[in-house]
Amino acid sequence: MASLPFSILMVCTGNVCRSPFAEALLRRRLAGSGVAGVEVRSRGTMALVGAPVAAEMLPEFARFGLSPDGLVGAQLDQAAAVRADLIVTMSKRQRAWIIEEWPAVGLRTVMLTSTGALADSGASADSPPGVGAGAHRAGIRAWARSGAQLSAADVLDPYGRSPEVARRSADVIAGHVAELGRWLGTGDT
Domains in the chain: boundaries: 6-184
pLDDT on residue 120: 56
Task: Look up the pTM and report it.
Answer: 0.90
CATH number for the domain formed by residue range(s) 6-184: 3.40.50.2300
Please state which of the ranges 13-17, 22-26, 182-186 shows the lowest mean pLDDT: 182-186
pLDDT on residue 151: 82
Bridge partner list, 111: 89
CB contact set of 41 (below 8 Å; sequence gap of 6+): 7, 8, 9, 10, 23, 80, 84
Average pLDDT over residues 42-59: 98
